Chain A
Amino acid sequence: MLQGVSEPTPPSRPALPGDPDALAAALEATGYLPDEGLATAAYLALVMHRPLFLEGEAGVGKTALARALAEVTARPLYRLQCYEGLEASQALYDWDFGRQLLHLRAAEAAHDGHGTEELEASLYDRRFLLARPLLQALEDSPSVLLVDEVDRADDEFEAFLLEVLSDFTISIPELGTVRAETPPLVVLTSNRTREVHDALKRRCLYHWLEHPDFEREVAILRRRLPQVTEQLARQVARATAQLRGLDLLKPPGVAEAMDWATALHALGARELDPDTAARTLGAVLKYREDTDRVHALARGALFGGG
């Protein structure tokens, strides 16, 4: 290894926000508009080094928060999408067996006279280790780790996630223990398709995300979709709020409202009229029963005015 060459200085990171309001302002600068509770939750997760467990309806901005936090803290974001049967080899690390075999063959062919022990040690070298998101997040510290839709994973996965999140270390029998210098900022999201185990929740800060109120939703639409007219944004936000009050199978979230506004804009609409609204309803409502219900209501009453 070369000596005397100074390590490249790491890129300077912005100082962490000093209180929830400062964090809220920083998040707003990236285009994510949090309310007071969410800003406090994210701030506490940052300073207490506790994972943040976010629950709420689909499309209220759980995943987007992790992205915004990574941007604010200038940390790399590692995302682990959960599904049933997710295994340690996909979440933590795996050995690159193919390359290990090649290495073994190459060593044999070279007859380089090394002892078996040395050969064995060289087989389990860091370069043959494939880091998966959880290990990546610990190695590349400080980082932001997003464990998305943890409710889709099963109990076995929760068990080893718990192990990683409780002391932010991963032990690899052949190599040793990997420890994060600074614990990563962990965001877990859940749509509540399944009750996540208490042991996991106990280690986290828990926050239930609501649909934003009218003004915030308008602000989000305006912020994310600057091309959409103010009037259209207000009308879409109002109509979406009304749809949420209809007791539908799947009430639309912010994501659906944004899709809808984008769709309307793509059709050249500058404001919401019943006809275009009816044609683009597929962007907000994802169940036939819901669509039928809304069509059956007086469409003018729902989408008119503004």
Chain B
Amino acid sequence: MAADQLVAAANGHPASAVVRDVVDTVLGFARTLRHAGVAASPDRVEAMLSAVGHLDVLDPTAVYWAGRLTLCAGPDDLDRYDAAFAAFFGGEAPHVRKSTGPEQQRIVQSAPIETSESGEDGGEPADLATKASGDEVLRHRDVGELTIAERDQLRRLFTLLVPAVPMRPSRRRRPGPHGSVHAARTVRRALRDGGEVSRLMYHRARPRPRRVVLLVDVSGSMSPYADALLRFAHAAVRARPASTEVFTIGTRLTRVTRELRLRDPDKALTASGGAIPDWSGGTRLGEVLKAFLDRWGQRGTARGAVVVVCSDGWERGGSELLGEQMARLHRLAHAVVWVNPHKGRVGYEPLTGGMQAALPSIDHFVAGLRLAAFERLVGVITRA
């Protein structure tokens, strides 16, 4: 429809009216796009106007590309852009995406997998076993205000996490009293001393924080612990925003790093609750872990990182896949830490099928979810 308006404007109106129409149309489209979840900031919209100016305004394909090239910022935006474009300009988008990146996630997101025969996870208490179903239940987290005790716990976690940074050597160097000779600085100093090399200057590798990736299981069987884990994740992200990534796993993979970067814990937890579609749903650990590795991990997020999986290991997606993917994760990551809330109980043995499959690929196993366990976890992460 708007494209028709463009055509009409071009045919019958003075140039300024056309320009105004184009601007209005683009602004309207940008609004639609923002509703669809693409952050089309004003400077991007300005760029789109400029791009349209260089192309044929009346050609829908040209308008499509002008918008897509300027308003989108990543592969995740492209599907939303296509949908918004189709909706706003009526008709179909002139380009059908056969995506590679996002599609892998879509596979995981769509098909609910068949529930495997019971008995595989033999010997589990019945109530817990039923909670670990592969059925996809989509619901958002009920968000209440944090209690004073929870806020207090958060503050303690935060102060615990700030100094706790795993470090790795980096390729960047800084001046230092020893290390290798820094030729440029040595000569610069020599120039100051009238061309006499009087002192050698050194530099050495500067350590950098190692990336920490938290994978938080938000499925039904984890529901008593997921809140506390998300609070821990929030404290971790706030302590090291640049080197911490948080994903939730259940029947889907959701990246919540961005939401958890909000300073206020209430707002951050509300925002992440809104972003997680499968709160207290089923579990497909293996499949979701694969989605994580395909989309993020192998590309770099898990490479050389300390990866912390917070889950009870209840898996109905077949433990073979989970074992395979855990081995893959172990090859990529610097260290794999598994936090199992059940381990703290007396007499607990990691017996679930998923847990058994994952065990060979785990470097550190942390149990329970009292504050003491969190403290131990922080220690493990720091020393990993």
Contacts and interface: CB of A to CB of B under 8 A. Distances in A.
Interface string A195-239: 100100110011110110000000000000000000000000000
Contacts of B130: none
B69 A210 contact: no
A166 B95 CA distance: 31
B100 A48 contact: no
A201 B184 CA distance: 33
Interface size class of A (residues with CB under 8 A): 35 or more
Given A94-B184, A155-B242, A208-B78, A193 B299 contact: yes
Given A50-B47, A156-B172, A205-B70, A55 B65 contact: no
A105 interface: yes
Contact of B51 (A48, A101, A104): A48
A7 interface: no
User: Of B97, B172, B190, which is in contact with the most chain A CB atoms at under 10 Å from its CB?
Assistant: B172
Nearest to B62: A40
Contacts of A251: 100
A112 interface: no
A44 interface: yes
Contacts of B115: none
Contacts of B74: 55, 195, 201, 206, 208
A87 to B, nearest CB: 8
Contacts of B99: 210
A48 B43 contact: no
A20 B55 contact: yes
Given A154-B172, A208-B78, A244-B100, A95 B69 contact: no
A44 B100 contact: no
Interface in B52-81: 54-56, 61-62, 65-66, 68-70, 72-75, 78
A199 B62 CA distance: 26
B320 to A, nearest CB: 14
Contacts of B61: 36
Contacts of A193: 299-300, 303
Contact of A101 (B56, B172, B190): B190
A22 B220 CA distance: 57
A41 interface: yes
Given A105-B195, A251-B100, A37 B51 contact: no
A141 interface: no
A198 B171 CA distance: 24
A98 B78 CA distance: 51
Interface string A22-35: 00000000000000
A36 B50 CA distance: 19
B104 interface: yes
B75 A208 contact: yes
A41 B72 contact: no
B156 interface: no
A289 B141 CA distance: 38
Contact of A41 (B43, B65, B184, B299): B65
11 contacts: A36-B95, A48-B47, A48-B54, A108-B195, A192-B101, A192-B300, A194-B300, A206-B70, A206-B73, A206-B74, A210-B98
Interface of A: 19-20, 36-37, 40-41, 43-44, 47-48, 50, 55, 57, 83-85, 87, 89, 94-95, 97-98, 100-101, 104-105, 108, 123, 151, 154-156, 191-195, 198, 201-202, 205-208, 210-211, 244, 247, 249, 251
